[in-house]
Chains A and B, each alone.
Chain A
Amino acid sequence: MDRRECLEMLYPELEDRLVVTIMGACAQELYDLGHRENFFYLQHAMGLASSIGLGLALHCPEERVVVLDGDGSVLMNLGGLATLARYRPTNLLHIIFDNGSLLSTGGFESHTTKGITDLAEIARGAGIAHVASVDSTMAFGEAAVEALERDDLSVIVARVRAVGPDNYGMDFALPENAFRFKRNVRDRKAGVSPGP
């Protein structure tokens, strides 16, 4: 399956949630589905998407947070899975798209290629109770529905093909995304409806 198909399925559910995505293809595919003010695109600092998600989830208990991660990024912050497990925010869903590739930097194989390293097993071993490993869009959809309804920390490892969009580009500067995202979180806390 393609990550893009998973994101299309997930997209309607993301409207009411705070979303943090990693860089590159994943960020672009989400953006291309339609930017929303509750999306933060981490275009660098690989590995830290789940840590931002943890900070958001712990300090915004009334929100539900979705982190869109990748195998290359998670491999840079495996300790972050243990920190997630330790603090177990019940309002966090961590989705890891595992394409077995460092796609954005030339498609070199990552450690998960050919099943050598199993990120779902690592997540379980870190102490995360709800971990699903899926390799079809049907299974992804089912796992996502379950996780979004579950009132507990969940991880989904989705095996996807190593393909990305043809064109890259977003219509805002990186700090602008941070300023607007922060304002959106504040307004949601205050119960202000977002502008058009």
Chain B
Amino acid sequence: MTVSYDNSKTVFEGIKAAGITSISALPETWLGLLLQRAEDDPDIRLIQVAKEEEAVGIAAGAYFAGEPHVLLMQNHGFFGAINGIVSLAQLYGIPLCMIIALRGDWGEPYPWHTRGGIVTEDVLRALSIPFEYARDPEKVAKQIQEAWTFSQSSLSPVALLLTRELMED
């Protein structure tokens, strides 16, 4: 299995089409091709973090500055960012548009991803974070646009989950 070149491109172009100019990320396999594009694009500022919770702070700073920003991370990184999501974003009403690689779901061959994949949806629900699954390359650009719009109108974190169906060939 390889990461989908075409769909990585589609997701990146969806991010750009949503008007996003700034991305914080912690690289992971499914996000690799997408982040290479971000790195090479002069219209996108890419900020790589050491741990995903930092990205919540950076996103808050970008929001205060009026800069359209999305966070890219793996679901396990999302778990590591939860205190920031709850005690900064939700506490203060700061929007977060999170695009999350959903590892450890249906078809996952790697044991180490499985526990995280199994609990991701329940954790999102427990935190009242609205989420949607991105499976179809034809729809993902619209889903990114809608995730962005909803984060801004609800002043809340929202999550778009990138699935295996979309991210692997």
Contact = CB atoms under 8 A, between A and B. Distances in A.
Contact of B88 (A45, A79, A185): A45
27 contacts: A42-B88, A44-B88, A45-B56, A45-B83, A45-B84, A45-B88, A45-B91, A48-B56, A51-B49, A51-B56, A51-B61, A54-B47, A55-B24, A55-B60, A55-B61, A55-B65, A58-B45, A58-B58, A59-B22, A60-B65, A82-B50, A83-B47, A178-B92, A178-B93, A181-B64, A182-B64, A186-B66
Contacts of B55: 51
Helix, strand, loop or mixed for chain A's interface? Answer: helix
A58 B87 CA distance: 23
B11 interface: no
Nearest to A175: B93
Contacts of B88: 42, 44-45, 48, 52
Contacts of B24: 55
B59 A55 contact: yes
Contacts of B121: none
Contact of A77 (B54, B65, B69): B54
Interface of B: 22, 24, 45, 47-51, 53-67, 69, 83-84, 87-88, 91-94, 155
Interface residues of A, number: 37
A96 to B, nearest CB: 16
Contacts, number: 116
A52 B65 contact: no
Interface of A: 18, 40, 42-45, 47-60, 77, 79-80, 82-83, 86-87, 174-175, 177-179, 181-182, 185-186, 189
Most buried by A among B63, B66, B88, B93: B88
A45 B91 CA distance: 10
Given A45-B88, A48-B56, A55 B49 contact: no
B66 A79 contact: no
Contact of B60 (A18, A52, A58, A86): A52
B61 A87 contact: no
A45 B57 contact: yes
A54 B63 contact: no
A40 B53 contact: no
B54 A51 contact: yes
Contacts of A87: 47
A58 B54 contact: no
A175 B22 CA distance: 24
A161 to B, nearest CB: 27
Given A49-B57, A51-B49, 10 more contacts: A44-B88, A45-B91, A48-B60, A51-B60, A55-B63, A55-B69, A58-B22, A60-B65, A80-B50, A178-B94
